[in-house]
A and B are shown apart, each in its own frame.
Chain A
Amino acid sequence: MDDTPPDHGPAPEEPATPVPSSVTSRRMLMLGAVGASSVVAIRPALAQATASILACQIPVPDPGNAGKYIASDGSLAPPSLLGPITGYGPFPPPSRPFTGDEVQKAMFQGQNLPGATSKATQAYLAYIRKLKMGQSGYTCFLSVQNPRT
């Protein structure tokens, strides 16, 4: 049995009174109390944790392409009456941007996006997956995918 303290721990405390050399001095270790805690999780500041997903938005399509319709593969298309009639797209853009929370539920829990049929949801999600850095909604989309948020 090794009497030396682990090498990553603090330096051993020497006993206050000299001890005979035949007795090795061991560092004291407190086991603590039943009610106390020795493992504490670091909690991020509130702003970090809650603001990110809840508050972020993904406009479909991005404002630079306002008014365009969304084809079922997520690409942009000119407005067309055919889509809404057949139900297979191109779909008119949603009336407001989606929140990160809504997109996360649609992507990972199979829910439809608000106000959208399941086919329209798939089209919108396909559009969102194609977002590139610099387009509105891209950074929100990244945090949707990041399991930590």
Chain B
Amino acid sequence: MAVPRYRAAEAALLIVEPLDIFTAVYHRPSGITHLLNEPAPQILEALDEAPLDIEALLARLAGTYDLGDADEDDTAILRVRLDELEAAGLVDRL
């Protein structure tokens, strides 16, 4: 069974405008403007290059940021964040 990998939507489909703690993202195919709060903009950035599965994404984020004490729920929480981004069309699941 293949583990799903995630990748940010093609750069050409999004217009990203950092504001402050929020980032505004215009999704061109739907015409919808989203406000992203952390960790969503950071996830989008981490998924900018190669597709990553959840564990690899978590590891990449942990390398860039201080995620606090590792928690068994982290993967589940990250999954929820990815589902939100996927629902908005900002992240593709492969």
> Do A and B interact directly, with beta carbons closer than 8 Å?
yes
**Which A residues fall within an 8 A CB radius of B?**
1-3, 5-6, 8-10, 25-34, 37-42, 147-148
* Contact pick for B33, options A34, A37, A42, CB 8 Å: A42
Interchain residue pairs with CB less than 8 A apart (30)? A8-B16, A8-B18, A8-B41, A9-B18, A9-B42, A10-B21, A25-B66, A26-B65, A26-B66, A28-B65, A29-B42, A29-B61, A29-B65, A29-B67, A30-B38, A31-B74, A31-B81, A32-B77, A32-B80, A34-B73, A38-B39, A38-B40, A39-B34, A39-B40, A39-B84, A39-B90, A40-B37, A41-B35, A42-B34, A42-B35
CB-CB < 8 A to B63: which residues of A?
1, 3
CB-CB < 8 A to A9: which residues of B?
18, 41-42
* Contact (Cβ within 8 A) B76 A34: yes
* Contact pick for B39, options A3, A32, A42, A148, CB 8 Å: A32
* Contact pick for B36, options A26, A38, A148, CB 8 Å: A38
Interface size on B, residues (CB 8 A): 38
CB distance from B74 to the nearest CB of A (A): 6
* Contact pick for A37, options B41, B67, B84, B90, CB 8 Å: B84
* Contact (Cβ within 8 A) A2 B35: no
Flag whether B14 is at the interface (Cβ < 8 A): no
Cα separation A66 to B63 with both chains bound (whole Å): 72
Residues of chain B in range 76-94 having any CB-CB distance to chain A below 8 Å? 76-78, 80-81, 84-85, 87-88, 90
With A9-B42, A39-B84, A39-B90 in contact, is A31–B34 under 8 Å at CB?
no
CB distance from B86 to the nearest CB of A (A): 10
* Contact (Cβ within 8 A) A28 B88: no
With A27-B66, A29-B66, A34-B77 in contact, is A40–B42 under 8 Å at CB?
no
* Contact (Cβ within 8 A) A26 B64: yes
- Chain A's closest residue to B81 (CB) is A38
User: Apart from A10-B21, A39-B85, what 8 extra A-B contacts exist at CB < 8 Å?
Assistant: A10-B20, A25-B66, A26-B65, A28-B65, A31-B78, A32-B37, A41-B35, A42-B34
Cα separation A32 to B39 with both chains bound (whole Å): 7
Cα separation A32 to B41 with both chains bound (whole Å): 13
